[in-house]
Structure 1
Amino acid sequence: MESIKDIEKILQEISKTIEDDASYEQIMSSMCTPPPKIAREIAGLFAEKNLGDPGLFPQTIRLEKEVLETLASFLHAPKGWIGTTTSGGSESNLLGCWAARNWSQKKKEIEKGKIIFPMSAHVSFEKAADILGLQIVWAPLNDNYQVNIEKLNELINPDTVGLVGIAGTTGTGACDNIQALNDLAEDHELYLHVDAAHGGMILPFLDKLGLESPIFDFRNSNVSSITIDTHKIFGNIIPGGSIIFRSKEFTNTIKKKVEYLADSNTEQLTITGTRPATPVIAAWVLLKKFGEDYILSRVKYSLDMTSYIVQRLQEIPEIIVSFEPPLNIIGFTTNVMTNQELVEQLQQKGWQLSLYAHWIRIVVMPHMTKKAINHFILDLRTILKEGA
């Protein structure tokens, strides 16, 4: 066993090795954000606990159940809902597509099947369709970067196993018209999965901030499952994913019994067997001890900073803001150089942004300070002046 002196030396070596990683002070592209101090401390205290073996850790499983109950309440889940924490939105979306395929194959006797994704869908859906052997049908977007409902309706056929709607897209933050998708799901008896990995911890709180909030959740009677992450704006430690299903009708098609565990009656919904408990414990503390005020403050701050950044960008003649931000995502471009050239020059100054096909993306998160934003605007102005 290493001595305390050896451990300190090892930690210094690791710190030196990763010191060139990007600093969150200049990260403007990530949907993740540094967790609060208490969540960081929890990450190191309970590393040995495994959610995948509930017979050994029943009290930790109780905390998971309470976290899921809180998340389900945010989403207005009906009585009889079923949920699980996951490794993140990608696994949750895979589980939603898996349930859609299996439920539809059982209900409609479809051999393989097609699944309809909006063009704005996260890359995890492509992975899911590939793994599940589903053919992807891409639905175009409207001018507001939401899925075009009329065009999507035309794509539905007898081989369709499910529909997907996005509540807070990765590229723009747009929320699809879930109510319209709900009607299509009812008309065609289709599984409807909502990816609210990003928007799930924002949209339920807009009303309390005096803002308009779309009805994207289980208040739509044909929504079958919803992805919701706690490791994004909520600030939980990574990985903090979850999925809530409307009922056992859907989870019964994917659950697997695992007899070799301490509780031989254990049934799992997740792809992963062994699962870290620390994100669940940290989420429980943040939800139960910090409460709704904590969430509201983070959402409000991020939205306020979004408005501030847009205002500062609009003061620069060479900058065009690409769309009105629906949530906390900004897109912009410039008329003096290519977007790629601008991103590369900003990276040379330490700034990390995302390059999309037609705009540069900023994700505004709680770690972004007004001081850092002003510094970014100053660097941006300098680059544009030199490139003009």
Structure 2
Amino acid sequence: MDHFLYNNGALYAEDVALTEIAEAVGTPFYVYSTATLTRHFRLFNEALAGMEHLVCFAVKSNSNLAVLKTLGDLGAGMDVVSGGEYRRAKAAGVPGERIVFSGVGKTAEEIALVLEGGIRQFNVESEPELLEISRIAAAMGVTAPIALRVNPDVDAKTHEKIATGKSDNKFGIPIAKARAVYAEAARLPGIDVIGVDVHIGSQLTDLAPFEAAFMKVRELTQLLREDGHNIRRLDLGGGLGIPYERSNSAPPLPVEYGDVIRRTVGDLGCEIEIEPGRLISGNAGLLVTSVIYLKEGEGRDFLIVDAAMNDLVRPSMYGAHHDIVPVIEADAAILPQPVDIVGPVCETGDTFAKSRPMPPLRAGDLVAFRSAGAYGAVMSSEYNSRPLVPEVLVNGDQFAVIRARPSFEEMLARDSIPEWL
């Protein structure tokens, strides 16, 4: 469920007409719904009710400070994968004790940054990383709380570019080696072994891979406790999918995900962490764009819009589907016709949809890409020297620009020409 609904024939974000925002900021733009972000966070929180837990929002899915503060003020923790994301979480007011640092390539500078600023735990992905954290923590005279991310070799049956739990992925320590690496961690200075971490992928629409992975975590936790480790926290990652296509059956609900956690590891007496991103922010955002031209081609028509692959790369990168709807509701009596929806970037890959049934549209009409709140703005670029698009947050009948569109002068000012030219 989201809070983007038609009202008197026009699409609204909560109580604000998208046409009003378009007049204020121009197109294309991203718009997020506070009510949707709040609802989705609370669904996860309620799904784990009765267990000691923390819902850590995956910052990589949407790192805007206003979004992070909205969730942080609700009590969310943050899962970060870079020093920059850590700085964003702290700038949004989230304390270090609610921030988890994941990622396979933590640098010495990043490790020192978070040890100084405060961290809930490092999710350690390799033995060299473990040694580096130990070295830096010992030199600083502090103790680093760590969980080892284990790779359970579970096929999440998701897109190959977002699968993270198979043996041929770059993430985590093979679960068969975990006991030896935990033993090494326990001997190292500056290290406090507190838990186990697992994450098997993104956009999962079946609970079976989660159950398989969590059962392996259960078995490992019991073995580690027999080895003398005080395992008191389980980080079970994120990955629950969202319905990008409204016509398809819905993915599992957070409450069903919570039931799997209870059934597999709920009796171990561990604090539970989860790291949802997409399911909290995905359906909380739209990308709104204007039609530039309708071009008639050989055997197909093209709807050319002013958003492009640099603004929303998912269709080009993953072959991803987004429902695309007119902002002004179409006459139900008019039969939609198939069009290819494309952007202006000079790439054939700048294609959002092929043969998508759409109502008749003209230059200047607005269309909205649904489910664009996750991995949309955060993955955007200035390819073709196109400015990053603004982001807008709606709260009831109010809206605010939470990232402005840079001017061309600001873009050019970031470059410099050497004195010899």
TM-score (ref. length: structure 2): 0.30
Q: Which has the higher helix share?
A: 1
Per residue, is there more strand in 1 or in 2?
2
The higher-RCO structure (CA 8 Å, 6+ apart) is 1
> Higher Cα Rg: structure 1 or 2?
2
| TM-score, length of structure 1 as denominator length | 0.32
